[in-house]
A = this chain, B = another copy of it.
């Protein structure tokens, strides 16, 4: 994890210091000066490595995403149902992000700005977004019973949108250990599995086509 070169070590030291201080006293209450001092570097030096306070957050968000990908196979192992797999996937995310929850709001304030590179919808986030959708692909692909072909192609991206919605809820969740978010997932994941299982019903074809074309149209307009 700690890079070879001196610069990479400094960079890691700054992220570590920031993480510790954010956790201890929150995002807004942590000054760049305090981070630099705690990391044993100058203020100017901290800005040499991170162009802004937000970019610093991106640093350990990326770390977490990597760890999420690494540990996903292990938590999916032995789970067949789509709801179980989806719940395990999100539970792992909650577990990894739990320490950051107290200051997640400070982070997501900026992610809420679509013009910000931190936004999950921004061009700058495209690699991270693609990687996240690929994780959903892994959740979907080995599910049993298999996902109906009708919705198979779109499902990972739709589930990623669901994930983003859950994250939004999680950020706002003031309940103890974000129990409300866990409840939300435990109740909605089975609903999703149920609806997906019905995707081949003739009565639902019109609605599925409606939703699919709507998504395609919206994506086209967003470009």
Contacts and interface: CB of A to CB of B under 8 A. Distances in A.
A127 to B, nearest CB: 20
Contact of A112 (B112, B191, B217): B112
B207 A172 contact: no
Contacts of A25: none
Specify how many copies of this chain sit in the oligomer. 2
A113 B121 contact: no
* Contact residues on A (Cβ < 8 Å of other chain), bracket: 20 to 34
A211 B190 CA distance: 12
Contacts of A174: 114, 222
Contacts of A221: 175, 179-180, 183
Contacts of A218: 180, 183-184
Interface in A169-210: 171-172, 174-175, 179-180, 183-184, 187-188, 191, 194, 207, 210
Interface of A: 105, 108-110, 112-115, 119, 121, 168, 171-172, 174-175, 179-180, 183-184, 187-188, 191, 194, 207, 210-211, 214, 217-218, 221-222
